[in-house]
Structure 1
Amino acid sequence: MSGTPDAAPDTGARAGGAAAVPAPQQVATPNAADQAPQSVTPTVQPAAPGGSHAKPKRHGWWWKTLLGGVALWIIAAAVTFGTQNTNLVPTVILLGSFLVPFSVVMYASERTEGNLDMTRLILAFFIGGVFGVLGASILEVNLQPSWYMYLGIGAIEEFCKGAVFVVIGLAVRPKNGHQGALLGAVVGAGFAAFESAGYAFNAGLTRHGIDLLSMLQTEAVRGVLTPVGHVLWTAILGAAIFAAIGRTAKWWAVVIAFVAVAVLHSLWDSMSFIATLLAVEFTGGAVKQLSYGLLLPATAESISSLAQVLYVVGLIVISVIGILVLSIWGRRPKRPRPAAPAAV
C-alpha cells in the first residue's frame, strides 16, 4: 500500500547533495524623509480690519497728486492767460485752491488704520470745509476791528473745525493721537481749500476786470502755507482729543490744545500788523517822523523791507512751535512685539 510523503523531495539535494540555503528576505526600510518629523509652518492670520496693527500700504500718491496737480494748474493758467477765456477762471481757482489740501487727504489715506478709510476722509474733507467756513462766517460777522478781533477769529474758526472733527470722529476706530492728527489734518485741509478759493476769487476781482496774475499769486502763497496753517492747527486739536479718549485725567490737555491752536491762529493772522509795528519801532527815527505826520520815502522803504523780513520770520517761528506741539500729541502708538513661538 502506497503512502503520501510528508514533504516534497528536495531538488537541491538531488542535484548536488547539499541543502539549499534560502535567500534572505528584503525588509523595506522607511525613507529618511518619512522618519524625520515634518516641520509645521505656523500660519499667521492677518490682522482684523479694525485692528490697530494693520500697516497700510504706501504708494506715494500724495506727492504724485501734488506734482500732477501743479502741472495741470500751470497749464490751465497758461491757457486762460493766452486765450483770455473767463470761463476757465473757475477751473484755475479750483485747481489752485484744492491742490495742496487734497494732497493732504492722499497723504493721510496711506497712514490711517482701522476703519478710517478713504470714504471717511473724503467726507471729513468736504463736510469740514463747508460747515467750517459757513460756521465761522456766521460767528465772525459781528467782530469789530480791534486787538481782540484776531483772537476771536482764531477761537471761532478752531471751534468750528473742532466741532466737525468730533462729529466725524465718533465712529472712528481705533482712537489715538496719531489717528486724531491725521483726521484733524484732513478737516483743516477742507477748511483751507474752501477759504483759499474765496481769497483767490476776491483777489481776481477788480474794477477793470479779472486780475489773473493777482489771483494766481494768492493761490500760490496760500498753497505753500496750507500745511503749516489750518492743517497743522486742526491736527494738533484732533490729536489731543483722540489722545484723551478714555483718559479722564487728560481732558485738561484738550483745553490746553484748543487755547494753543487759537493763539497760534491769532498770531498767524495778525503777524502782518505785528511785523509792521515792530519795524516802525526798530527803525528809530520813523516814530518821530510819524508823530508829525511825515514819513520820508527812504524811511518808508526801509520799514517795508524790515516788515517783510519780520513777517516771514514770525510765520516760521509760529510754524515751528506748532510742529513741536503736534509731535507731542500726534505720536504713533507703540506696537507690541509679537510673542516668541513656544519651544516644542
Structure 2
Amino acid sequence: MWFYLGIVVLHILRNTAVEETWIFVGAALVPATIFWIMVHRLRTTDTITAVNLVVAAVIGGTLAITAGATLDKLIGMIPQAEFGGKGILALSMAGFVEELCKGIVIVIVGWKLAKSTRNGLFVGGAVGLGFAVLETMFYIASSVGGADPIIDAAREAVGRGLLAPFGHVLWSSLFGAALFTAAAKTGRFRLSWLVLGTYVGVALLHGAWDGSGGIVLALTGSDLLSLLAEFGGSLVVIAIGVPIWRHVAKKHPAPPLPDDSVSDAAATQPTAPTSPVPA
C-alpha cells in the first residue's frame, strides 16, 4: 500500500490529498510490524495484555515525544555549533533528554502493571515504538520538497524504517526492563544503580547514534569523516545494544503454561515399580 500510494497516487497521478497518509504509513510500517510480533509473543501466563501495549505505544509515545520535543527545543536555543541545521549540543544531549522522558512515561503507563523484567521489555519497547513513529513522520515530512518530493521522502522513510528496530525501540526496551526489574521486589518503581546505569548506557547509545557525525564535523570540518563517523556510530550502537537485549530477553522468558508445568513435573516424578504378574 505504501509503494502504491507513493508511486501511483503521488508520483504518477500527482494527487497530494494522500500525502499525509503516505507519510504516516511509511513511518508506521516497520514499528507496526514489530508491534504485531510483540503482541503475538505474549502468552496467556503473561501479566500484561495487548491493550496495555496499545496504551503504552499510543498514549505513552505521544507523551514522551511531547516532553522530549519541549526539552530538545530549549537545549537547542543555547548558542552552539551546528550540523545539518541542528545544534551539536542538542544532538549530543538528545539521548539523555529523550530517554529520560521515555523513562518517566514508562513509569506512568506501567504504574499499575505487574513488575517483571519481561513486562518491562514489552512496555518500554511499546513506548519506543510510539515515539519512533511520530518522530519519523516529522523527518519524512521535512524531506518532502524539490522538483520531485517523493524520492527524498521515500529514501528517508526506508532508511529510518530499516533502522527502527535498533533505535528507540531497543533503547526504551532496555530502560523499561531495568525500571521494572528494580521494582520487582516491592512492586514500586525506585531508583537503583541498575536503573541509573541503564539510563546512562542507553542515553550514550542514543547520543552516539544522533551526534557522532556532528561531533566529528565540528572537530575536523570534513563532511566525509562526518558521514563515516555517523555510519560507524550506528554500527557500534547496534553491535552493543542488540546482544544486550538478546541476553536480557533470553534470561527472562515467558512463564510456562500450566500444562507445561504439569508435564514437566510428571516427567520428573519417579515411576513406581510394577508388581510381577502371576503366571
TM-score (norm 2): 0.79
Tell me how far 1:162 sits from its aligned partner.
1.1
- Paired residue for 1:192? 132
Q: Does 1:115 align with 2:55?
A: no
What secondary structure does 2:41 align onto? coil
Q: Does 1:89 align with 2:19?
A: yes
The code of the aligned residue for 1:238 comes to: G
Q: Which moved more, 1:122-131 or 1:326-335?
A: 326-335
The code of the aligned residue for 1:140 comes to: D
Q: 1:126-205 maps to which residues of 2 (within 5 A)?
A: 126-143=58-75, 144=78, 146=80, 148-173=89-114, 175-205=115-145
Q: 2:158 is matched with which residue: 183, 203, 220?
A: 220
The code of the aligned residue for 1:214 comes to: D
Note if contact 1:155-1:262 (Cα within 8 Å) is conserved in structure 2: yes
Note if contact 1:154-1:266 (Cα within 8 Å) is conserved in structure 2: yes
- Paired residue for 2:195? 254
- Paired residue for 1:319? 238
* Cα distance in structure 2, aligned partners of 1:194 and 1:246: 31
* Cα distance in structure 1, aligned partners of 2:121 and 2:227: 31
Q: Which has the larger radius of gyration?
A: 1
Note if contact 1:129-1:188 (Cα within 8 Å) is conserved in structure 2: yes
Aligned length, in residue pairs: 248
Superposed CA offset, 1:216-239 (max 9, x none):
111111111111111111011011
- Paired residue for 1:77? 6
Note if contact 1:177-1:332 (Cα within 8 Å) is conserved in structure 2: no
Tell me how far 1:306 sits from its aligned partner.
4.6
TM-score (norm 1): 0.65
Note if contact 2:118-2:252 (Cα within 8 Å) is conserved in structure 1: yes
Q: 1:257-272 maps to which residues of 2 (within 5 A)?
A: 257-272=198-213
Unpaired segments ≥5 residues, structure 2: 81-87, 273-279
* Cα distance in structure 2, aligned partners of 1:110 and 1:145: 47
Bigger RCO (CA 8 Å, 6+ sep) = 2
Superposed CA offset, 1:171-211 (max 9, x none):
333x32222112211110110000111111121146x7x72
Percent of counterpart pairs with the same letter?
28
- Paired residue for 1:100? 30
- Paired residue for 2:168? 230
Structure (1 or 2) with the greater helix fraction: 2
What secondary structure does 1:244 align onto? helix
Note if contact 2:65-2:134 (Cα within 8 Å) is conserved in structure 1: yes
What is the root-mean-square deviation in Å for CA atoms of aligned residues? 2.6
Tell me how far 1:152 sits from its aligned partner.
2.8
What secondary structure does 1:110 align onto? helix
Note if contact 1:184-1:231 (Cα within 8 Å) is conserved in structure 2: yes
Residues 186 and 211 of structure 1, relative CA distance in 2, 3 Å threshold? same
* Cα distance in structure 2, aligned partners of 1:160 and 1:250: 15
Note if contact 1:200-1:219 (Cα within 8 Å) is conserved in structure 2: yes
Tell me how far 1:320 sits from its aligned partner.
1.2
* Cα distance in structure 2, aligned partners of 1:343 and 1:194: 59
The code of the aligned residue for 1:324 comes to: P
Residues 342 and 145 of structure 1, relative CA distance in 2, 3 Å threshold? farther
What secondary structure does 1:87 align onto? helix
* Cα distance in structure 1, aligned partners of 2:65 and 2:217: 28
* Cα distance in structure 1, aligned partners of 2:127 and 2:52: 11
Note if contact 2:106-2:127 (Cα within 8 Å) is conserved in structure 1: yes
Superposed CA offset, 1:95-146 (max 9, x none):
1001111111111112234232221111111112211111112222221254
* Cα distance in structure 2, aligned partners of 1:151 and 1:247: 35
